[in-house]
Amino acid sequence: MKVDGATPTNFSGLPLILVGLSFALIIGLPRLASDWWYLSIVGWLFLAASWGTSVEVKGETLRLNYAFGKLTINVPLSEIEDVKVVSRLERAVLIREFPGLYVLIAGAVLFAFLDLLLLPSGLLEGYYFGDMGLIFFGLLYLVVMSLPFSRMHLAGMFGVFTIIFVTLLMRIKTGIFDPLPVLFFAIFFPLFVAEYYSKEYVVITAQRRRYCIMAEKPEPVLKTIMGGVSGEA
Amino acid sequence: MLKLPEGMERVWIMRAKGMREVDIAEALGISRQAVNKALKDARVKLFEAFFAIAETFSWDVVRVNAEKGFAVFSGKVLGKRVRVYAFYLPGKGIKAFFGEDVPDYILQHALEVGIIKKPEKEGLIKALES
């Protein structure tokens, strides 16, 4: 039985490894070996493959499908120990559930920051824009994932600080103040936050492993899992 | 009211207290497979019971933990949105409490099964809501 409107996230396990590989190919490799730029295409493919496509219950197994439906992670329903709707808990944060994701994003932000420092000053803005974007969205992602869902206003405040921070970085590197990148970040920041908070996040713990399912509403996910546990699916 | 069968409950509570499956098998003089099967069945029964409570009272499920035997619900009672915390107590079945109105024997139980390390209400609510 397929769960409508639910997709597994790439926060843990093999999908997270795919994200890590894609980061290495898209961000790292072109800087270390510029002749191998075409490998970044493979990186984008890995990134796309890490996205979950569907969630279904088949027999007594929860199936999380990735990689355009070619990769399936099977979770036996009888092994599920804990089911939590993180977005409804008062103190739960996603980062605590998935520390590997935190390390990966923090590493990517740090890499972008170091890359930005090593780039000579006074180049055209386009040279810095990739790193700036990565620092901005990376920091924003780390913040929203480190805050309980009831603290959306804090995420908003931090987003404004992040815009000021990247604007200052841009000013230092280019020597001029250009309102265009600021406008870009100011438009994408509320869109990013609104998209993140519009979803519900169901975290399942089974056999000491954690899986996250993203859904518009968690009830269909919970009902399908419950149906499978009771042998109704 | 759900109560786990005696043998199953004994295995479940030993696991909830942190014992390894192999140690439970040794202590009870049964096979590790039997322990594993009892734990699987206990988890399924607890999930069913907690979800049934949510459905009966039209509460939203926030969290169900079959390993330690507790659940967090959100629901409307007399027009007010409240938090409901439910626990499976060995020999007694499921007991539910509104808001932070948690009695001392629940704190003691939470301490025994390792949900909290100190018998403090704030600590218990924090653990359930994390």
Measured between CB atoms, does B36 come within 8 Å of chain A? no
Asked if the structure places residue A59 within a domain, the reply is: yes
Residues of chain A with pLDDT below 50 are: 233
Radius of gyration over every alpha carbon of chain B, rounded to an integer in angstroms:
15
Q: Which of B48, B101, B100, B56 is nearest to B75 (CA)?
A: B56
ipTM: 0.89
CB contact under 8 A, A82 and B130: no
Q: In chain A, what residues touch B63 (CB-CB under 8 Å)?
A: 82-85, 89
- The residues with which B65 forms a beta bridge, in sequence order, are A82, B70
Q: Around Cβ B78, how many Cβ atoms within 10 Å?
A: 5
HSE-CB for A170 with a 13 A CA cutoff = 26
With CA atoms as reference, the chain B residue closest to A232 would be B48
Asked if the structure places residue A1 within a domain, the reply is: no
Question: Looking at the whole model, is its pTM more than 0.80?
Answer: yes
CB contact under 8 A, B66 and A89: no
Enumerate residues 95 to 124 of chain A having a beta carbon within 8 A of any beta carbon in chain B.
Answer: 96
Q: Which helix (H) or strand (E) holds A122?
A: none
Residue A217 φ then ψ, to 5°: -135, 140
Angle between helices B104-112 and B121-128 (to 10 degrees): 60
pLDDT of residue B105: 92
Q: Which of B63, B120, B71, B54 is nearest to A89 (CA)?
A: B63
Asked if the structure places residue A184 within a domain, the reply is: yes
Report the pLDDT averaged over residues B40-51: 92
Q: Which residues contact B62 (CB under 8 A, 6 or more apart)?
A: A84, A85, A88, A89, B72, B73, B74, B83
Q: In chain B, what residues touch A97 (CB-CB under 8 Å)?
A: none
The one-character DSSP state at B78 is: T
Token pair for A149 = 């869902």
The pLDDT-based confidence of B1 (bands split at 50, 70, 90) is: low
pLDDT of residue A231: 62
Measured between CB atoms, does B67 come within 8 Å of chain A? yes
Report the pLDDT averaged over residues B32-52: 93
Burial B52-69 (b: 16+ CB within 10 A, else e): ebbeeeebbbbbbbbbbb
Angle between helices A126-146 and A99-118 (to 10 degrees): 150
pLDDT of residue A166: 85
DSSP H stretches of helix in chain A: 13-23, 29-32, 39-50, 94-97, 99-118, 126-146, 152-174, 179-197, 219-229
Q: In chain B, what residues touch A83 (CB-CB under 8 Å)?
A: 47, 61, 63-65
Q: In chain B, what residues touch A222 (CB-CB under 8 Å)?
A: 51, 61
Distances (CA, A) of B79 to B48, B56, B76, B82, B97: 27, 17, 6, 9, 17
Select the residue from A85, A147, A224 to test the B interface by mutation, using most B Cβ atoms within 10 A: A85
Mean per-residue pLDDT of chain B: 91
Q: How many domains are contained in chain A?
A: 1
With CA atoms as reference, the chain B residue closest to A84 would be B63
Are B96 and B85 a contacting pair, CB within 8 Å? Answer: yes
CB contact under 8 A, B61 and A78: no
> Could you identify the residue written with the tokens 């815009």?
A163
pLDDT of residue A233: 45
Are A92 and A86 a contacting pair, CB within 8 Å? Answer: yes
Q: Which of A141, A123, A113, A144 is nearest to A27 (CA)?
A: A113
Q: Which residues contact B22 (CB under 8 A, 6 or more apart)?
A: B32
Q: Which of A116, A97, A86 is nearest to A201 (CA)?
A: A86
Measured between CB atoms, does B130 come within 8 Å of chain A? yes
pLDDT of residue A230: 65
Q: What whole-number distance in Å separates Cα of residue A16 and Cα of residue A187?
A: 28
Q: What whole-number distance in Å separates Cα of residue B73 and Cα of residue A36?
A: 53
Give the whole-number percent of chain B exceeding pLDDT 90.
Answer: 73
With CA atoms as reference, the chain B residue closest to A225 would be B47
CB contact under 8 A, B67 and A219: no
- The residues with which B118 forms a beta bridge, in sequence order, are none
CB contact under 8 A, A80 and B74: no
Q: Which of A161, A164, A116, A159 is nearest to A137 (CA)?
A: A159
Residue among B48, B63, B130 whose CB faces A83 most closely: B63
CB contact under 8 A, A91 and B66: no
CB contact under 8 A, A89 and B63: yes
Domain boundaries, chain B: 6-128
Q: Which helix (H) or strand (E) holds B124?
A: helix B121-128
Measured between CB atoms, does B2 come within 8 Å of chain A? no
